[in-house]
């Protein structure tokens, strides 16, 4: 039985330090006149039910961005910006659906069929987590693990993993049944980690 849109909570991960942007809050940097996080919200909204924004700074600004979508802003429960898994945990805890679809706040071109394809694969192979892979022109395969559809029932296990001091996304995925979904367009998952990369997106 397919996973319905309303059973998926969309989670925009905007809680990082923005180290490679000089400490700027990445999700609030402008692209084509709008904050990056707003681009991601617009892409996720048609694909999911409820929306959440994981943010550890500027909660009021993110609340403004999320208001038209009914998105709630949540923060890490762990201190010192421990990484995307902490944001995912906050999302798994806050969600009232069986699944959470996470996406980073600096990927404004994510595919319109992201949720559908991950959900189809997750259900087909009875996985706990479905994530994204792409292949570059040289045939090299890359995983994009922060794009993931995750069962909310994994929250306690993720909490224990983080409390043990672990932080690596792929190491946590390896504890569970994971499916990889290949997408043809790698540019859809391009993320702006630096101001130069953001400038490149602006020109594209």
- Map out the domains of the chain as residue ranges: 5-203
Closest to 4 (Cα-Cα) out of 49, 52, 41, 45: 49
- pTM to 2 decimal places: 0.94
The confidence score (pLDDT) of residue 76 equals 82
User: Taking all residues of the chain, what is their mean pLDDT, rounded to a whole number?
Assistant: 92
Query: What superfamily does domain 5-203 belong to in CATH?
Result: Spore Coat Polysaccharide Biosynthesis Protein SpsA; Chain A (3.90.550.10)
pLDDT digits (tens, 9 = 90+) for 98-118: 999 999 999 999 999 999 999
What contacts 106, CB < 8 A, 6 or more positions away? 26, 27, 29, 36, 40, 191, 192, 193, 198
Q: Cα separation of 91 and 99, whole Å?
A: 10
The DSSP call for residue 180 is E
The confidence score (pLDDT) of residue 19 equals 63
C-alpha to C-alpha distances, 99 to 6, 118, 127, nearest whole angstrom: 10, 11, 12
Q: Cα separation of 17 and 195, whole Å?
A: 14
Phi, psi of 195 (to 5 degrees): -65, -30
pLDDT digits (tens, 9 = 90+) for 26-81: 999 999 999 999 999 999 999 999 999 999 889 999 999 999 999 999 998 777 76
């Amino acid at each position: 039985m397919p996973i319905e849109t309303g059973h998926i909570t969309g989670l925009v991960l905007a809680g990082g330090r923005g180290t490679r942007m000089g400490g700027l809050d990445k999700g609030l940097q402008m692209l084509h006149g709008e904050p990056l996080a707003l681009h991601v919200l617009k892409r996720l909204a048609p694909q999911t039910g409820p929306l959440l924004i994981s943010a550890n700074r500027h909660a009021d600004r993110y609340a403004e961005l999320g208001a038209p979508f009914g998105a709630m802003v949540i923060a890490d429960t762990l201190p010192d910006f421990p990484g995307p898994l902490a944001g995912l945990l906050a999302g798994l805890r806050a969600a009232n659906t069986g699944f959470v679809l996470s996406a980073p706040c600096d990927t404004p071109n994510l595919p319109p069929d992201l949720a559908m394809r991950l959900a189809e694969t997750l259900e087909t192979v009875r996985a706990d987590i479905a994530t994204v892979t792409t292949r570059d022109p040289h045939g090299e395969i890359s995983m994009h693990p922060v794009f993931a559809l995750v069962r909310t029932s994994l929250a306690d296990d993720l909490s224990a993993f983080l409390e043990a001091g672990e932080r690596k996304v792929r190491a946590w995925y390896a504890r569970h049944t994971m499916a990889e979904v290949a997408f043809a367009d790698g540019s859809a998952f391009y993320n702006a980690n630096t101001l130069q990369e953001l400038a490149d997106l602006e020109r594209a």
